[in-house]
Chains A and B, each alone.
Chain A
């Protein structure tokens, strides 16, 4: 089983809708979770991270963490075409707490 799993998509939503991106992880001891956005041909950029169960909001983005279910999600409210990108979920692990990434979910926001 992969350590971090994401639905690869593609996921399409209309402009203005809520986009919901999901990630499951296998290590029950994981404490922190990261969401990166990657535009085509570009490098990943950090959107937000979450440590505690529940929701964390930052502008139009909300991360939701459920440690019991080993599930973390990213909601994008009022989706814009500029949100079209691949979204990567990442979990620290290993001896150096290096990030293990999911394969990413490709999101397209249709105008």
Chain B
């Protein structure tokens, strides 16, 4: 079974803090994704990565950065958290060249 894990299920941070969200997959998948999900807006792609050290912006990259130093790990960084980044963050991975994505459990982030 594909297993995608995320470092925290719930996180509370203050405005202006630097926030790290970690995602790890154990299936040697080349591609990894970060989404955020908000009521009424659905899932929106923030960043994705083809492979180690490779990244591409998604639909809403502003205010976020990513890091992929190892194949199994994809980190999402909020450089200076703001209240409008309060959301559910979902990580996903897939085998390169395929389309089926597998999701982690999600991190619900609250920025005060």
**A residues bordering B, Cβ < 8 Å?**
32, 34, 42-46, 49, 88, 92, 95-99, 101-104
Contacts and interface: CB of A to CB of B under 8 A. Distances in A.
B90 interface: yes
B99 A46 contact: no
A96 B40 contact: no
A98 B105 contact: no
Given A46-B100, A98-B58, A101-B42, 8 more contacts: A34-B99, A42-B105, A42-B106, A43-B106, A46-B102, A97-B99, A101-B43, A103-B40
A98 B42 contact: no
Given A96-B50, A103-B40, A45 B103 contact: yes
Interface residues of B, number: 20
Contacts of A104: 42
B25 interface: no
B91 to A, nearest CB: 9
Interface of B: 31, 33, 40-43, 45, 48, 50, 56, 58, 90, 99-106
A42 B99 CA distance: 21
Contacts of A95: 56
A34 B100 CA distance: 8
A43 B33 contact: no
A98 B48 CA distance: 8
A95 B102 CA distance: 19
A42 B106 CA distance: 7
Nearest to A97: B99
Contacts of A96: 31, 48, 50, 56
Given A32-B99, A96-B31, A96-B48, A43 B90 contact: yes
Given A96-B48, A103-B42, A44 B103 contact: yes
